[in-house]
Amino acid sequence: MPVVDEIREANLSYASEFEKGDLPMPPGRKFAVVTCMDARLDPAKFLGLDEGDAHVIRNAGAVVTDDALRSLIISHHLLGTQEAVVIAHTDCGMLTFEDEELQDRLNTDVDFHAFPDVEENVWSGVKKIQDSSLLPDSFAARGFVYDVNTGELREVPG
């Protein structure tokens, strides 16, 4: 069975018991997460989140790109979030290549945001959030590295 058929079947089962259609649009715990798209990460599980608790923004490497920052700005100004966490992880695929290598391979100048150091990437993202002129000084940001072997979060010191 194709994967899309499997997920449609799973969705029908989920929808048949769905009782959360009355959740408000703003996240209940007033925070946002920027994390990696890696399939080994389930932020709802490792952060103890339920539907409606937080905004979760995912991309390759948990990079605070202009688009991730755009989402955080909307999250704060229109939906009331007051803080963000940037969560990268050990054994990240973004450590395995350099932008130039992939750009040459694909004959493009797209910035893929590869990085050589996970903690440095996290701190760079936190700093970008803190330095944004479109977020108030009161908007808090902290960074963490999730260990894919233990499931633990380790804070990246600023």
Q: What pLDDT digit, counting tens, does each position of 76-95 carry?
A: 999 999 999 999 999 999 99
Check whether 158 has a pLDDT greater than 90.
no
Q: Which domain holds residue 127?
A: 25-155
Check whether 31 has a pLDDT greater than 80.
yes
CATH code (residue 93): 3.40.1050.10
Q: Does 14 map to a domain?
A: no
Q: Does 15 map to a domain?
A: no
Q: Does 13 map to a domain?
A: no
User: What's the chain's average pLDDT?
Assistant: 97
**Could you give the dihedral angle defined by the CA atoms of residues 122, 127, 128 and 130, in that order, rounded to the nearest 10 degrees?**
130
Q: Does 54 map to a domain?
A: yes
Closest to 94 in 3D by CA, of 68, 62, 71: 62
Question: What's the total number of domains in the chain?
Answer: 1
